[in-house]
A = this chain, B = another copy of it.
Amino acid sequence: MASDETMSELSQMSDDADQFFEGVEKLLEIWFATHDANEKNSDLRKIPRSKLESLLKIVRCEIISSVKNDHIDAYVLSESSMFVSKRRFILKTCGTTTPLLCLQPLLLLAEQYAGFTEVEDLFYSRKNYKRPDLQVTPHQHFDQEVALLDTLFPDGAAYCLGAVNRDCWYLYTLNPLPQHNRRPMLSTNEGDQTLEILMTDLDPEIMAIFTKEECLNATEATKKAGIDKIIPNMTIDDFLFEPCGYSMNGVSKNNSHEVLDGCYMTIHITPEQEFSYVSFETNVPASSYKEIIGKVLDTFKPGKFTVTVFTNQLSPTKDTSKELLCRTQIGNKWNRRDVQQISFKNYDLTYAFYTKFPS
């Protein structure tokens, strides 16, 4: 499928494969449940730290920092982030990590230490890689990832949103038949939402902030870029890599505001110009995501970006998808190339892809 232009681009790139880093993350989010009446005692945070560390070895990354509040343990990893709360596990890892290989061991740990016997909901997603050829099994192709997931989840359904021959975004989730007569899902009893913005072709001057050349440490980079202003009242755990690269987790300050309880945000930055990539993710509820999206775009000034919004029926954010459907342009700078909506049992998903106006 590669045009001559792509071919020459590829061969040029393989010359500097050593310098390349895949910023695009694999994002795994699992909601656990149990049929046990003692569900209130079940808690993923009972899994010992040493067990989490062994799990991450399988994924090919490690914990480098952590922060917590009453609702969530947030870990900065050598490759992105991990969030552990009572019944939700989030693992977001970039580079050539292999998060799907930890699925089976994770299900065992969730049962053994946390008392969870069921996977109530699962979301595995990622943008198309810039260099799929550098990935390792089972992450070289979405079909490969789907094949592995299908062996574990009979109700799994795999989707591709956006144009498969341009920028797109893959998702695997559970989509069981309605008549399975399952126990009503807990997640339908609580509002939940996730906003993710995946950006490429970023402003080189802004990307320079996330290098040891320009900033002494992560705190300086966070302030200089204005990352601490995107969502206020967050305890920030940030890390500036050597010689460049940046990760941050934010968790809501205890008792900062009831609506923010259990909220997180996370940003990961690959600043190199040839393969610049920034991801932003949060589960902060809002009646509109217009302001947060605007702040993120002003902070990073991407050439292209995807926006995905998941909302369930109880989410205060559930009308924000209508905003995206109307916004064929954002900030008089970005044109929408694609917009798609999809409905699952508990969640509605909106996907949009924008590119900057040609200069």
Q: Is the CB of A338 within 8 A of B1?
A: no
Interface string of A347-359 (1 = CB under 8 A from B): 0000000010110
- By the criterion of a CB under 8 Å from any partner CB, how many residues of chain A are at the interface? 35
A342 touches B343 (CB 8 A): no
| Chain A positions 138-175 with a Cβ under 8 Å from a chain B Cβ | 142-143, 146-147, 150-151, 156-160, 162-166, 175
Are the CB atoms of B175 and A163 closer together than 8 Å?
yes
Task: Determine if A38 is an interface residue (Cβ-Cβ < 8 Å).
Answer: no
Asked whether A12 is an interface residue with its Cβ less than 8 Å from the other chain, the reply is no
User: Which residues of chain A from 1 to 46 have any CB-CB distance to chain B below 8 Å in the complex?
Assistant: 1, 3
Using Cβ atoms and an 8 Å threshold, which residues of chain B touch A357?
179
Task: Other than A159-B163, A179-B335, A341-B341, give 10 A-B pairs with Cβ distance below 8 A.
Answer: A1-B143, A146-B164, A156-B165, A158-B163, A159-B160, A160-B160, A160-B164, A175-B338, A179-B357, A340-B340
| Nearest residue, chain B, Cβ from A2 | B147
Interface string of A111-151 (1 = CB under 8 A from B): 00000000000000000000000000000001100110011
Q: Is A337 an interface residue (CB 8 A)?
A: yes
Chain B proximity of A352: nearest CB distance (Å): 10
**Overall SS of chain A's interface:** mixed
When distances are taken between beta carbons in the complex, the residues of chain B under 8 Å from A179 are 335, 357-358
Q: Is A58 an interface residue (CB 8 A)?
A: no
Q: Across chains A and B, which 5 residue pairs bring their CB atoms closest together, nearest first?
A: A157-B163, A1-B147, A158-B165, A341-B341, A340-B342
Contact of A178 among B158, B159, B328 (CB under 8 A): B328
Q: Are B1 and A150 in contact (CB under 8 A)?
A: yes
- Cα distance A3–B175 in the bound complex, in angstroms: 19
Answer yes or no: A63 CB below 8 A from chain B CBs: no
Determine if B1 and A335 form an interchain contact, defined as CB atoms under 8 angstroms apart: no
What are 27 A-B pairs with beta-carbon distances under 8 A? A1-B143, A1-B147, A3-B151, A142-B164, A146-B164, A146-B165, A157-B166, A157-B338, A158-B163, A158-B165, A159-B160, A159-B162, A159-B163, A159-B164, A160-B160, A160-B164, A163-B175, A175-B337, A177-B337, A177-B355, A178-B335, A179-B357, A325-B343, A338-B342, A339-B342, A340-B340, A340-B341
